[in-house]
Amino acid sequence: MLNVALLWHMHQPYYVNPLTKTAMMPWVRLHAVKGYLDMVEMARRHPEVRMVMNMTPVLVKQIHELVTGEVKDLWETWSRIPAAELPVDIKRNILEHFFKANWDNLIRPHPRYHELLTRRGYDLNHLSLDAMVSSFSKQDYLDLQVWYNLAWCGYAACMEYPELRELKMKGRHFTESDKETLLSIHHKILASILPRYRAASEAGHVEISTTPFFHPISPLIMDTEFAHRAMPMAGLPPRFHWPTDLDSQLQLSIAQHEKHFGAKPLGLWPSEGSVCPEMIPILHKLGFRWFATDEDILFRSLSRESGGNTERVQLYDPCEAEWDGVAVTSIFRDRSLSDFIGFSAAKNPPADASAFIMRHIHGIASATENKPDPIVAIVLDGENAWEYFADGGEGFLDSLYQQLGKSEKWQMTTLAEFSSRPMTRRKLAHLHTGSWIQGNFDIWIGDPEENLAWQLLGETRQWWEHRRSKVAPDIAERVWMEIFAAEGSDWFWWYGPDFQTDNDMLFDELFRTHLQNVYHLCNETPPDSLMQPICRPAVSATLAQAPIGLITPKLDGIVTTFFEWHEAGRYDATQSHGSMFQAERILRTIFYGFDTEQMYIRLDPHPEVAKHSELTVRLKINDTHSLDFRWSPATGNIAPAQGPSPHARAAYRKIVEISVALNAINVKESDRLHFSISILKDNAAGAATELEHHPSSGSFEFTVPGERFAAENWSA
């Protein structure tokens, strides 16, 4: 019988400056009143669905510190200041930061909140907050203080605390008493999170696993030279080589886990699924029964052992990785199912999204019915995805859990239970060194910013190694926590070109603050190198670049000449501003442009798109027109779904090229036009599941051009 394992990963980096005892960002508190509470409540509703909740120690530490009052949340402090007493600088901070939520699902549904966003404006790059501060009234600021904290409250919080529903219904003209009630509920929820997870664990249907304490990329803190195994041509920083730090971080994880959850953890989600064979003896020594990572690690490991002969069905075989005479059960996530939940489920009706998952699990059960003890593991972020669901994911998870818990073709399992069963396991003698993202460490090392961060970390770690014997034990303990915090993966995630956020400079400052604190705690002056920002001062290019001229490409499905799309707009569909990474994408790049009569779209697909037999490209324009094109990458065909049309044409050979007549969509020169592109996959039931949506939020926008467009060149 097929075993089905769910693992939800809960994590936030260490936002706290230990010297000031201030959490510089609010995400631990805000995710607590939304994702963390919602997820444990949904598990309580469905005790028949056994699962793993991975609670990173750095997250648990911050929850505990906020509950005990050891640490103050800076953004909560801004929220608590009476609106009539707000100084100008805090007003500016509120206008800048208190709209940092999913606009579609957490702001637009609430008229007053959306009104305040509209008045503030959408694009901070073109706003003067200093000039705007005085245009907001005392009541505006009070309503904004309330709405930012209220909008984050998830379905479980609103069910448990009717006051929250009443505040949402009230909508505006909040009082200071309303605000106090709201923030008091936040803290009641915070105080309940760890006990709720412990109770779920003690009830037996939830297993709580862990990671190294501050969420480092384990192979890289052991030895950054390990990166060359998967990235042989990468330029790396001076060698960072401290394998004992991984052992120490894991021991800290075990001690804290036992304190808050009443037992030692039996399983490990290595930070970002990052593994190497040298980790196995450390895990075995510390009593871990299992670790989990991505399917790419398995297939690269098997390919090395078999000379390249692998089959997908091998993903579902029980495995254990061996090194230096010991072995640990190894779990490999099904990437397509995991990524569908994280990136595509929110784009579909809850029942359709859960049905998509169930069809695939039925297929896996059939494909493995003759295998002993097969397992499919769905492993993904357990908090960030829910912002993209209109209902916080409640409908989808409720539907999914109901179906998962009532089949005779599979059984739900925790990974501790699965790893303890006597069974024959495939031996992996050559575990691939890499992460769950592309099987390498490119996100965290190799770029100049990332390498400089590693260099500064290494210099500080080396300085401490020579200094630590002269420091009192209580101070040394605090220094170690600063070093381990700086080893966390999150700082390196935001350095370099892969991911951007409005808070890049704050992440940079926090990272360097941890390193500076090593010196401060030893009564030494930090070196000048730690005073200079690592993030380059140049403004990063946006994901979408606007058109700079008129185009009239030939629709033949290939790049006919270099110049035909040269002046088109361009959108990189592989990059992200967010905190999650999507491994498998249909599209790599989108180009768009126009002449005075036609709108043109070009889609550059991923090389593996040919494995899809039937897709739909959906073009939505101005909320009034929706055009579908049936696309068969395997056969090289694309055509309007409604049949031949003089107003919409398409071609596909190596790229998809589409044209739409402007007069057919009722737009004329100088009108504003906005559009989005979706990729949908058809299924046997005749329904379509959305796999991708571009841009991920909002839409592409431009003014319909006239003859003078090329001369005016709107990007100049």
Residue-wise DSSP of 51-66 = EEEEE-HHHHHHHHHH
Looking at residue 96, its pLDDT comes to: 93
* Best CA proximity match to 56, nearest among 33, 76, 20, 27: 27
Interacting residues of 210 by C-beta distance below 8 A, sequence separation 6+:
54, 55, 56, 57, 253, 254, 257, 265, 267, 268, 269
Q: What is the mean pLDDT of residues 201-216?
A: 97
Helix (H, G, I), strand (E, B) or coil at 23: strand
**Helix or strand or coil: residue 20?**
coil
- Of 638, 635, 674, 672, the closest CA to residue 658 belongs to 638
Helix axes 176-203, 162-170, angle to 10 degrees: 140
Measured between alpha carbons, how far apart are the two ends of the chain, in Å?
63
pLDDT tens by residue, 488-518: 999 998 887 655 566 667 788 889 999 999 9
Q: Are 540 and 497 in contact (CB under 8 A)?
A: yes
**Neighbour tally for 100: CB within 10 Å:** 18
Q: How many CB atoms lie within 10 A of CB 226?
A: 24
For the ranges 659-663, 676-680, 681-685, 691-695, the lowest mean pLDDT is seen at 681-685
Specify the 3-state DSSP secondary structure of 539. Answer: coil
Distances in Å between the Cα of 686 and the Cα atoms of 149, 352, 423, 630, 683 are 42, 11, 40, 13, 6
More confident residue, 327 or 310: 327
What pLDDT score was predicted for residue 629?
93
Supply the pLDDT for residue 713.
47
Pairing type for strands 267-268 and 290-294 reads: parallel
Minimal CA–CA distance to 325: which of 429, 431, 434, 433?
429
Write a three-state SS string for 585-605.
CCEEEEEEEECCCEEEEEEEE
- Write out the two tokens for 246: 């991984």
Provide the phi-psi class of 433: left if phi over 0, else alpha when psi is between -120 and 50, else beta: beta
Q: Is there a contact between 387 and 101 (Cβ–Cβ < 8 Å)? A: yes
> From CA 696, how far away is CA 576, in angstroms rounded?
9
What is the dihedral sign for C-alpha 220, 225, 231, 233?
Answer: positive
Beta bridge partners, 648, equal 660
What tens digit of pLDDT does each residue of 82-118 get? Answer: 999 999 999 999 999 999 999 999 999 999 999 999 9
d(CA 60, CA 417): 24
CA distance 710 to 571: 20
CA 550 from centre of chain? 37
How far apart CA 78 and CA 100 sit, in angstroms, is 14
The token duo for 78 is 């801004």
Contact between 442 and 234 under an 8 Å Cβ cutoff? The reply is yes
Among 253, 198, 246, which Cα is nearest to 53's? 198
- Give the other-Cβ count within 10 Å of 511's Cβ: 25
Query: Which amino acid is it at 435?
Result: S
Q: For 630, phi and psi rounded to 5 degrees?
A: -80, 125
**pLDDT reading at 711 higher than 50:** no
182-193, pLDDT tens digit by residue? 999 999 999 999
Segment (H or E) for 481: helix 473-486
User: Which residues partner with 593 through β-bridges?
Assistant: 600
Average pLDDT over residues 592-620: 87
Mean residue pLDDT of the chain comes to 91
Q: Name the amino acid, one letter, at 31.
A: H
**At residue 522, what is the residue type?**
C
625-632 and 637-640 strand pairing: antiparallel
Return the amino acid letter for 202: E
Q: 341 — phi, psi (to 5°)?
A: -65, -45
- What is the model's pLDDT at position 563? 75
Q: What is the dihedral of CA 635, 639, 643, 645, to 10 degrees?
A: -150
Lowest mean pLDDT among 416-430, 457-471, 550-564: 550-564
Residue with tokens 């509470």: 37
Give Dmax (Cα) for the chain.
Answer: 81
Name the 3-class secondary structure at 697.
Answer: coil
Average pLDDT over residues 394-410: 94
Q: How far is CA 469 from CA 466, 476, 481, 506, 520, in A?
A: 7, 9, 16, 33, 16
Average pLDDT over residues 483-488: 97
pLDDT of 715 above 50: no
How many CB atoms sit inside 10 A of residue 285's CB? 11
DSSP-assigned letter for residue 390: T
Q: Average pLDDT, stretch 428-433?
A: 96
- What percent of the chain lies above the pLDDT cut of 90? 73
Residue 714 confidence class, pLDDT cut points 50, 70, 90: very low
The first and second tokens of residue 517, run together, are 């604190």
Closest CA to 238 of 85, 20, 462, 540: 462
What is the C-alpha to C-alpha distance for residues 491 and 551, in angstroms, rounded to an integer?
A: 41
Hey, is 531 helix, strand or coil? coil
Is the distance from CB of 520 to CB of 479 less than 8 angstroms? no
> Is the pLDDT at 4 greater than 80, yes or no?
yes
Distance CA 429, CA 19 (A): 45
Element (H, E) at 129: helix 129-132
Kind and range of the H or E run holding 652: strand 648-652
- 418-433 mean pLDDT: 95
Helices and strands of the chain, counted as H and E runs: 24, 25
Question: Is it the case that residue 238 has pLDDT exceeding 80?
Answer: yes
**If we measure between CA atoms, which residue out of 103, 92, 188 comes closest to residue 147?**
103
The amino acid present at 58, given as its one-letter code, is V
Q: What is the pLDDT of residues 17-31, one digit of tens each?
A: 877 899 999 999 999
Residue 314, C-beta contacts closer than 8 angstroms, at least 6 positions apart = 298, 299, 302, 426
- The full length of the chain comes to 716
Confidence (pLDDT) at 539:
36
Residue 121 and residue 115: Cα distance in Å, rounded?
A: 10
Question: For 125-177, what is each residue's pLDDT tens digit?
Answer: 667 888 899 999 999 999 999 999 999 999 999 999 999 999 999 999 999 99
Asked whether residue 678 carries a pLDDT value surpassing 80, the answer given is yes
- The confidence band for 669, taking pLDDT boundaries of 50, 70 and 90, is confident
CB 695 within 8 A of CB 543: yes
DSSP string across 497-521:
SSB--TTHHHHHHHHHHHHHHHHHH
How far, in Å, CA of 43 to CA of 53, rounded?
10
Which of 178, 177, 175, 143 shows the shortest CA–CA distance to 164? Answer: 178
pLDDT in tens, 507-557: 888 899 999 999 999 999 999 999 888 986 433 334 567 787 788 999 999
- The predicted model gives 468-481 an average pLDDT of 96
Q: For position 584, what pLDDT does the model report?
A: 64
Q: Give residue-wise pLDDT tens across range 361-399.
A: 999 999 999 999 999 999 999 999 999 999 999 999 999
Q: Name the residue with higher pLDDT: 350 or 582.
A: 350
Q: Which of 80, 33, 75, 76 is nearest to 176 (CA)?
A: 80
Give DSSP secondary structure letters for 415-433: HHHHHHS----EEESS---
